[in-house]
Chain A
Amino acid sequence: MHLIYVAVLVGCLLVTLPLEIVLRVRVYARWRRWLAAVLPVAICFVCWDLYAISRHQWWYDGRQILGWRLAGRLPIEELLFFLVVPTCAILGFEAVRAVTGWRAGDER
């Protein structure tokens, strides 16, 4: 039961991994750009999460998470969520580009 949330996140990574390997979208391969895109946004959303937790706007079922809490009682899964979900979004975005050839405005 404690693995539910982290299992969902691992599932997201596994489902999108073929995009990197088979479609060769090169998101992980361009790791500097990947980190520079994901980290600033993740920091903003961690702050939002901490605010919501501190105001008791939402809370987590202790039986369905690992129980590793960071500062502000933030479950480790929440931090991972803000890294995993945006990563999957970039992989999906690049997959659409790879399949369709549509322009995104950053072509050289």
Chain B
Amino acid sequence: MSYTALSVIAVAATVAVDLAVLRTRLLLRRIYWVAYAIVLVFQLLVNGVLTGRRVVRYDPRTIIGWRIAYAPIEDLFFGFALVTLTLSMWVWLGRRAVR
């Protein structure tokens, strides 16, 4: 499966986990979106270095070709899933009083 397809599936799965599986509903909270906006700035910076310097390179056949700060748009979806799933887990564990 292409990176494009997998990254779209990852976003959908992330939304499902937050809203329906763990029911943390971070996507409906202001604190999440402000934190995500801050993380996104740094993500674009880090991703820009890694892709701009060509530390990581992509097969053009597996991406759609749209780029933001050197990084393929798919990396944005990948990062959204990585960060949001982690925050959802973090808050879910907090609810269960894991310390």
Contacts and interface: CB of A to CB of B under 8 A. Distances in A.
A60 B31 contact: no
Nearest to A97: B31
Interface residues of A, number: 45
A67 B50 CA distance: 16
Query: What class of interface size applies to chain B in its complex with A?
Result: 35 or more
B50 A8 contact: yes
A60 B26 contact: no
Given A85-B82, A90-B86, A61 B54 contact: yes
A106 B22 CA distance: 12
A50 interface: no
State the main secondary structure of chain B at its contact with A.
helix
B99 A32 contact: yes
Nearest to A87: B86
A37 B86 CA distance: 6
A5 B50 contact: yes
Contact of A105 (B43, B53, B95, B97): B95
Contacts of B2: 57
Contacts of A37: 86, 89-90, 93
Nearest to B63: A57
Contact of A48 (B6, B38, B49, B59): B6
Contact of A82 (B3, B42, B82): B82
Contact of A41 (B57, B62, B85, B91): B85
A27 to B, nearest CB: 8
A88 B6 CA distance: 24
A15 B41 CA distance: 13
B69 to A, nearest CB: 14
Nearest to B24: A105
Interface string A3-36: 0110010001001000000000000001011101
